[in-house]
Amino acid sequence: MKKLFVLTAIAVCSSLMVKAQKDGITRFSLGPELGVATGTFSNFAGLGIGATIQAEHFFQENISGTAIFGLVDYFGTSYDNNLKYKSTVILPLRVGGRYYIGDGFHLGAQIGLGFVSGPLSSTGFAYSPQIGYNFKTNKGKSIDATFKYDGYAISGGSLSALGIRVAYVL
């Protein structure tokens, strides 16, 4: 847990320093995530609910780098009369990139680590291909809606989920 705190602190401080040096081309977004377990993960987990914060730094008008951290809790499924699996909590810590096609439409991918606790507690390789759109608000801000596939290669198997992240861009 101490390592996780230190990694998070370093990521946040680095993001803030980038923001101070390159004002106007780094954005932060914060929002909820919904996921549905797929594959063998769906044998003991179902719906996932959580929240993430993401930093996005633009290198060009249509190319950006991303870093994300958050928490998603997948509820355990029932397997016998009144017996239920424990929930699985995943803390994703990933970096990646986005390519903007047109006005707001984007394709992206992220890789990193997934800290998993629950029936299969482990730390593993995380990956997430994504497709999304940034909707403009009346006040000039935007809402980022991203559909994604999250995969986690952990010891003892793998976990996967389809998800959506709807975040307010700060």
Which pLDDT does position 18 carry in this prediction?
42
User: What is the rounded distance in angstroms from the CA atom of residue 142 to the CA atom of residue 119?
Assistant: 38
User: What is the rounded distance in angstroms from the CA atom of residue 19 to the CA atom of residue 111?
Assistant: 22
Angle at 128 between CA 149 and CA 110, to 5 degrees: 160
User: What is the rounded distance in angstroms from the CA atom of residue 127 to the CA atom of residue 110?
Assistant: 6
Question: The tokens 């320093």 sit on which residue?
Answer: 17
Question: The tokens 């499924």 sit on which residue?
Answer: 77
User: What is the rounded distance in angstroms from the CA atom of residue 166 to the CA atom of residue 32?
Assistant: 6
Which pLDDT does position 6 carry in this prediction?
40
Residues in the chain predicted with pLDDT less than 50, given as ranges, are 1-2, 4-10, 12-24
Dig out the tokens for 68 from the structure. 């994300």
Which pLDDT does position 146 carry in this prediction?
97
The pTM score is 0.80
